[in-house]
Amino acid sequence: MKGLIGPVLLIVIFALSFYYAVKLLTCSLARSPIVICWTLFLALYILNFIISGKVHQYDDMRNILLNLIPFYPFYFFTLNKFVREIDIKFFFFGLVVLFILNFYVADISLSKQLDEEEFANNTSYQLMGLLPFVFIFKKNLTRFVLLSVLAFFALESMKRSVLIVSVLSFFLISYNYYISHQRTSPLKATLYSFMILIVFCVFAVVYYVYWGIGERFEQRLLLMILEGHTSGRDEIASLMINSWLDSNNAIDYILGFGYMSWTEISFNSSHNDIIKVLTETGLVGLISFLSLLSAIINRSRKKFWFSDDHRTAFIMFILVMLVSAITSRWFGSSFFFMNCVLLPFLLAYNSRSRRFNN
C-alpha cells in the first residue's frame, strides 16, 4: 500500500498541473515568451519520451515533469491571489528545515556506508534551489543571516557547483545593497557592500582554517588543476557530442538520438543540460532550450519588475539556472521547488502588479 502512495500522488499532481496549464494558456495575461517557450520545451520532451519506446525508464522523465509541470498551477494561483509572498516565505522556511534534516540523515548514512570522514553529500544540490528564495526578504540583515546559514552547508557539501552559486549569492547581495543605496548615500553604500564581502571572506577563511573542507576534496581540486581535467564529465561530454556529430544522419542531427540515449553512448550522463538536450532532441530541442533560457534571461530587465526584491531573487534564479545547467542538472534537478514554485510566483506576481499599477 505504501508503495502506491507516491505514484498515485504524482499522477494527481501531474493531472491537476495539466488542467491548470490549459487554463493558464487561455489567459492573455499569462501568454508571455517564458510561458510559451516553457510549454514548447515541455511538449517536446513529453513527445520525445513517448516515441522513444523507453516508457519503462521513466525516472528521468518524472524528474523533468516534477520541475516543469507544477509551474502552471502556481502561476495561475499567484495571478488569482491564492498564493501570496508570505506563503512563499513560510514555504521556504519549511524547505530549509527539511533540507537540514535530509542533509544530516544523508551524512550519517554515507558515513556508515563509506566508512570515511570526508565525502560529497549530493543532498547539498537542493541548497542551490534555496538561494533565490532568500532575496524575497526585504531586510539585508535577514538575507545575510540566511545566506550565511546556507553557506555553511555549501562548505560542508564539498560540491563545486554548490560552492560557486553560494559565492555568487554573496556578491549579488553586496551589489544589490550598493545599487539600492548609492543615490542616497554613496559612501555608506560602498562601505557596507565591501563589509558584506569581507565578513563572508572572513567566515570562509575561519571555517577553512578550523574545520577545513576535507582533505580529499582539497587533493582532488589540486589534482584537477595540475592535470587540467574534471571528474570525468568532460570526457563523457566529448563522447556524447562526438557521437552526435559522427552520426552522419540528418534525422539524428535534427531530432537527436531520443530519450535517455546517453545510456547507449556512455556509462553515465554528461551532467550538462545543453549536451543532454542536443543528443536527446537534436537541433530542434537545442533551439527550444536556448530560446527558453534566452526568454528567462531577457525577463531580468528592470522594466518587467514591480518589486526590486523580486527582481534580485529572479537574477539569483538565473545564476543558479545557468550554473546548474552547465555543471549538473537544471530542468531535471532535485531542487524542483525553485523552478515550479518560486519562478512562477515571481513572474505572475510582478505581471499582475504591473498591470494594476499602470
Grid coordinates representing 74 are 502556481
pLDDT tens digits, one per residue of 252-310:
899 999 898 877 777 677 788 999 999 999 999 999 999 999 999 999 988 888 888 99
pLDDT tens digits, one per residue of 56-78:
788 889 999 999 999 999 999 99
Q: Say if residue 177's pLDDT is above 60.
A: yes
What is the DSSP secondary-structure string of 216-229? HHHHHHHHHHHHT-
Q: Say if residue 93's pLDDT is above 70.
A: yes
CB 244 within 8 A of CB 279: yes
pLDDT of residue 155: 80
The CA distance from 343 to 340, in Å, is 6
Report DSSP state, residue 338.
I
- What pLDDT band is residue 221 in, cutting at 50, 70 and 90? low
Backbone angles phi, psi at 244, to 5 degrees: -70, -45
pLDDT of residue 227: 46
Grid coordinates representing 132 are 533565490
Q: Say if residue 357's pLDDT is above 90.
A: no
The CA distance from 355 to 357, in Å, is 6
Q: Report the b/e string of 19-50 with b at 16+ CB within 10 A.
A: ebbeebeeeeebebebbebbbebbebbbebbe
Select the highest-mean-pLDDT range: 9-23, 133-147, 185-199, 228-242.
Answer: 133-147
Mean pLDDT confidence for 201-211: 67
pLDDT tens digits, one per residue of 136-147:
998 888 998 999
- What pLDDT band is residue 230 in, cutting at 50, 70 and 90? low
Secondary element (H or E) of residue 184: none
Q: Say if residue 209's pLDDT is above 70.
A: no
- What pLDDT band is residue 220 in, cutting at 50, 70 and 90? low
Query: Measuring CA to CA, how many Å separate 114 from each of 120, 157, 221?
Result: 11, 16, 21
Mean pLDDT confidence for 312-318: 96
Which has the closest alpha carbon to 329: 123, 63, 91? 63
Which has the closest alpha carbon to 62: 355, 333, 346? 333
Q: Say if residue 218's pLDDT is above 70.
A: no
